[in-house]
Amino acid sequence: MRSAILGFTGLVVIAVIGGGLYYYFAPQSAPTASSARGAGGPPPGMGGGMGAGGGRGGPPGMGRPTPVLVTKVATEVFDDHVEAIGTSAANESITVTAKVPGVIRSLNFGDGQFVEKGAEIAAINAGEQDGRLSAELANYDEQRRELQRITDLAKSNNVSQARIDQQTSAVRKAEANLASARARVADYRIAAPFAGVLGTRKVSLGALVSPGTVITTLDDISTIKLDFAVPETFLATLRPGLDIEATTSAYQGELFKGQVVSVDSRVDTVTRSVGIRALVPNKQARLKPGMLMVIDLIKDRRQSLMIPEQALVPENNKQYVFTVAPDNTASRVQIVIGRRRVGSVEVLEGLSEGDIVVTEGTMELRPGGKVQILNQDKMGASPPSADMRGPAPSPRGPS
């Protein structure tokens, strides 16, 4: 079957011969069909047509490299995260109260003031106790002088040993009475047992107080305690020394890092959870006791081989990847994967650090096929890391 179409600019000859389709374009100067018939078949370089006996060089992709994007297998720190909610507490905290009844003589602090250990916070009028202390101090001095006089006389054998022993006991008794008087007077002086920040003042100068009357509070917030609980299923991997990262709505976008210091010895029989305590440094005193905090417990941290999740080629419950050899030949490799996080997957078996894996273009690849690496200049860059919480918030917080 032969057909000819005479166009405006020239002659196109289309012929179907022996199951193949041939075409030939002739210039306007040779518009006759005989010229097409004399061509002797398809022109050189035009191929054998689209029939079964010809084709155009075989299936697509067999004669040219497949364009792909690749990355190098890298070793990264991989860890599991357990999220919990906890409440902050001061490292040390007391309510400052009066020990004895009396009238407030002095208040030596302001609201929110930092005080050192041993600093006097308040004092109660102790006139009677001060008098007793003075009397006991005078008696002690007198008994010591008497003992010294008797000891000097004993050198000339004018005093018996029994008299010396009697006076020695009197000195010890006076010393004990003096220590007791000093302790009673100390109850009227309220001192800080540790360094910390005082709260608001609850009494006024000259107020009559009784034992248990609240004067103020004292908190050591140089370090903050965080108490929280996690399910008992994680008990096997819990231990002191694990890292935590905590966030609070008061400081959007900021991470407060600390460490686990203790794991409770018991599991709650109602909630089936175990209590954990962590310490968070708080040198700038930004965190306050009683704040609600979201805690990210980091456990089972180790170095792992990581690849982008999009490089995986799943097939029949198995995972494969395409690797690229130095001669740009692709190979399909079966791997064993471990844990996942957003955008990445851990490789347990099948790959080594530095191997080149295909991340995009795997659908058109076949084992042994040639590839064209489109991101050759960026192969040395590590794949972007991501953790299970997603992208980090902006340092300024949400706008």
User: So what's the pLDDT on residue 63?
Assistant: 63
Q: Which tokens belong to 54?
A: 């010809």
pLDDT at 129 over 70: yes
- Asked if 93 and 192 touch (Cβ cutoff 8 Å), the reply is no
**Which contacts qualify for 372-376: CB closer than 8 Å, 24 or more apart?**
372/65, 372/66, 372/67, 372/68, 372/328, 373/68, 373/69, 373/70, 373/324, 373/328, 374/67, 374/68, 374/69, 375/69, 375/70
Burial 145-164, CB ≥16 within 10 A → b, else e: eebeebeeeeeeeebeeeee
pLDDT, one tens digit per residue, over 140-149 is 999 999 888 8
Burial 281-308, CB ≥16 within 10 A → b, else e: ebeeeebbbebebebbbbbeeeebbbbb
User: So what's the pLDDT on residue 92?
Assistant: 93
User: So what's the pLDDT on residue 81?
Assistant: 78
Q: Which tokens belong to 98?
A: 């009066």
Which domains are present in the chain? 1-58 (no CATH), 66-76+303-378 (2.40.420.20), 83-90+218-302 (2.40.30.170), 99-122+193-212 (no CATH), 126-187 (1.10.287)
- Greater model confidence, 277 or 303: 277
pLDDT at 224 over 90: yes
Phi, psi of 342 (to 5 degrees): -60, 115
**Cα dihedral 28, 29, 31, 34 sign:** negative
Could you tell me what percent of the chain has a pLDDT over 90? Answer: 37
- Greater model confidence, 60 or 211: 211
Burial of 316 (0-12, 13-18, 19+ CB in 10 A): exposed
In whole angstroms, give the CA distance from residue 239 to residue 230. Answer: 13
Residue 379: pLDDT band (50, 70, 90) is low
Least Cα distance to 88 among 226, 194, 187 occurs for 226
Burial of 265 (0-12, 13-18, 19+ CB in 10 A): exposed
Among 320-329, 361-370, 374-383, name the one with the lowest average pLDDT.
Answer: 374-383
pLDDT, one tens digit per residue, over 281-326 is 998 889 999 999 999 888 777 778 888 888 899 988 899 999 999 8
DSSP bridge partners of 243: 259, 298
- Greater model confidence, 131 or 277: 277
Could you tell me what percent of the chain has a pLDDT over 70? Answer: 78
DSSP bridge partners of 66: 371
Residue 62: pLDDT band (50, 70, 90) is low
Average pLDDT over the chain, rounded to whole? 79
Mean pLDDT computed over 37-53: 41
Q: Which tokens belong to 324?
A: 């690229």
User: So what's the pLDDT on residue 284?
Assistant: 87
Q: Distance from CA of residue 324 to its chain's centroid? A: 35
- Asked if 36 and 26 touch (Cβ cutoff 8 Å), the reply is yes
pLDDT, one tens digit per residue, over 168-214 is 899 999 999 999 988 888 888 999 999 999 999 999 999 999 999 99
β 256-267/273-281 pair status:
antiparallel
Burial of 384 (0-12, 13-18, 19+ CB in 10 A): exposed
- Greater model confidence, 183 or 54: 183
pLDDT at 279 over 60: yes
In whole angstroms, give the CA distance from residue 247 to residue 398. Answer: 14
Mean pLDDT computed over 73-80: 78
pLDDT at 133 over 90: no
pLDDT at 110 over 80: yes
Residue 121: pLDDT band (50, 70, 90) is very high
- Asked if 251 and 286 touch (Cβ cutoff 8 Å), the reply is yes
In whole angstroms, give the CA distance from residue 225 to residue 11. Answer: 91
pLDDT at 353 over 80: yes
